[in-house]
Amino acid sequence: MAEKIHEITGKMTPFCRKIVHISLLGDCQTGKTTFVIKYVGDENQGFLEMTGLNLMDKTFYVQGVTISFSIWDVGGDEKYSKDHIPIACKDAVAILFMFDLTSRSTLNSVFGWYSQARKWNKTAIPILIGTKFDDFVRLPPNLQWTIVTQARAYAKVMKASLFFSSATHNINVNKIFKFILAKLFNLPWKIDRNLTLGEPIIDYDS
Distances (CA, A) of 103 to 34, 47, 110, 136: 17, 28, 12, 9
Contact assessment for residue 151 and residue 161, using Cβ atoms and an 8 Å cutoff: no
pTM listed for this prediction: 0.88
The pLDDT tens digits for 4-42 are 444 344 444 545 778 999 999 999 999 999 999 999 985
Q: Which domains are delineated in the chain?
A: 2-203 (3.40.50.300)
Contact assessment for residue 161 and residue 199, using Cβ atoms and an 8 Å cutoff: no
The pLDDT tens digits for 39-77 are 998 544 445 555 678 899 998 876 667 889 999 999 877
Pairing mode, strands 202-203 and 161-164: antiparallel
Residue 76: strand, helix, or coil: coil
